[in-house]
Amino acid sequence: MLSPNRVLVEKFPLLQSLINLEETCWFNPKITSFTEALPDVGLTAADIKDASDRLQRFAPYLVKAFPETAETNGIIESDVVEISQMKNILQQDCSTEITGRLLLKKDSHLPISGSIKARGGIYEVLTHAEKLVIKAGLLSIDDDYSKLFSDDFRKFFKGYSIAVGSTGNLGLSIGIISAKLGFVVSVHMSADARQWKKDKLRAHGVTVVEYQQDYGVAVEQGRKEAEKNPNCFFIDDENSQTLFLGYSVAGERVKAQFDSAGIKVDTQHPLFVYLPCGVGGGPGGVAFGLKMAFGDNVHCIFAEPTHSPCMLLGVHTGLHDQISVQDLGIDNRTAADGLAVGRASGFVGRAMQRLLDGYYTISDQRMYQLLAELNSQEKIRLEPSALAGMIGPAIVHSNVEYLHRMNFTDEKLANATHLVWATGGGMVPKIEMEKYLSKIND
Ligand SMILES: *Cc1c(COP(=O)(O)O)cnc(C)c1O
């Protein structure tokens, strides 16, 4: 009799390359139009607007609590920059022509926590805080939220706690904002989490619980701890719609940035966006927001490490969170700590599968190489996870089946914009960055 894995591999031959840890790509033939797939998500434009309005209400608080956000009036947003030198290097590295322009979305340099988690993580904590103080009659939504930056409010929040499981960056975001508001906060960190992230959190007064196991275990333990305490709120990275909505606000923000830079997106000017994927909430939420903003003219592609291809696996097999990479004997060990997730979010996979054009995997070695190249070519420094999206344009350009099926003619591709989402790295200490940069010579 065949083992269950053998049966699965026979049904989905692509899994053999995942098991072999080969760089693999898959463009989903079942994608459909935005209007048709929107009901899968179960969220609407009104939900994104609600999130956007909430972030606006909190802006005066953020200006006070985090003066580095004063420049953007308390709105946590990152720049989009053109990286044309990097485009040349990519074309050489991959021996593929890349037409159109190559841009980088620098969520790596978002204020407060230096990663994409400054969107979803912070948003979810703010949402929870708002709910508590409104219920207690201490705040109304018409108030100036800067009043939350006071000893009285900090004392109030001390009565409540927050818990989260993380590979590092989500913990960093949630820990920093929660501690600033006054919450008692504990972060359950998986084995891959970097020491400096734990140190930084402890310096903020956050309780860091360390595990020798991976992200799935850290999340489970966080959940258990929270269940014991009725005043403890558990932030569920695997299933939270609130986190997802926090990320989704990025869509309208990118649209506004493109509008002011005169970057056109329409049928003749397609936009490709390459998003590093861990559990899926960050890239899924951003992709949802982008779809809402640009409709069928934006094409989102997820990137994962060869050792942690959980979303590709879940969507390709249709098993979503019912299968983990470990089930196939894949070890989920990667230098891309933000992406070290063995089991994808079932919510995101099911909600977004018909809206995501494709998925690919990338080796750690290549992420290190791209990290060094981006540094030398553009003087931009990222953490390894954030480079996962960088080869996306070459993958799109070399996939004839996808280009043909989608009717991406040479003319359209010449007009295309490729946006690589840089998800983290802005807070990596110099000495750690030197280590990353030296990996290329290992
Ligand atoms: C968390 C993270 C991601 C992916 O987000 P998920 O919500 O886990 O999919 C990508 N890059 C970095 C640097 C991250 O920290």
Per cent of the chain over pLDDT 90 is: 92
CATH architecture of 117-239: 3-Layer(aba) Sandwich (3.40)
Question: CB of 368 within 8 A of CB of 384?
Answer: yes
376: alpha, beta or left? (left if phi > 0; alpha if psi -120 to 50): alpha
Mean pLDDT value across residues 377-383? 98
Radius of gyration of the chain (CA): 21
Q: Which atom of ligand 1 is nearest to the CA of 277?
A: 9
Q: If you write DSSP's letter for every residue of 26-53 in order, what string do you get?
A: EE-TT---HHHHHHHH---HHHHHHHHH
Per residue in 307-355, pLDDT tens?
Answer: 999 999 999 999 999 999 999 999 999 999 999 999 999 999 999 999 9
- Residue 153 Cα to ligand 1 midpoint, Å, equals 31
Question: CB of 149 within 8 A of CB of 204?
Answer: no
Question: CB of 64 within 8 A of CB of 385?
Answer: no
The CATH 3.40.50.1100 portion of the chain extends over: 4-113+244-441, 117-239
Nearest Cα residue to atom 14 of ligand 1 = 338
CATH architecture of 4-113+244-441: 3-Layer(aba) Sandwich (3.40)
pLDDT score recorded for residue 439 = 83
Per residue in 116-170, pLDDT tens?
Answer: 999 999 999 999 999 999 999 999 999 999 999 999 999 999 999 999 999 889 9
- Residue 383 Cα to ligand 1 midpoint, Å, equals 11
- Residue 386 Cα to ligand 1 midpoint, Å, equals 8
Pick from 348, 359, 437: which is nearest to 402 by CA? 359
Query: Which two structure tokens, joined as six digits, stand for 255?
Result: 């649209």
Q: How far apart are CA 223 and CA 330, in angstroms?
A: 25
Per residue in 211-253, pLDDT tens?
Answer: 998 888 888 988 998 999 999 999 998 899 999 999 999 999 9
Per residue in 166-194, pLDDT tens?
Answer: 988 999 999 999 999 999 999 999 888 89
Residues with C-beta less than 6 Å from any ligand 1 atom: 115-117, 169-170, 276-283, 338-339, 341, 383, 385-386, 423-424
* Mean pLDDT across the chain: 96
- Residue 192 Cα to ligand 1 midpoint, Å, equals 13
pLDDT score recorded for residue 440 = 65
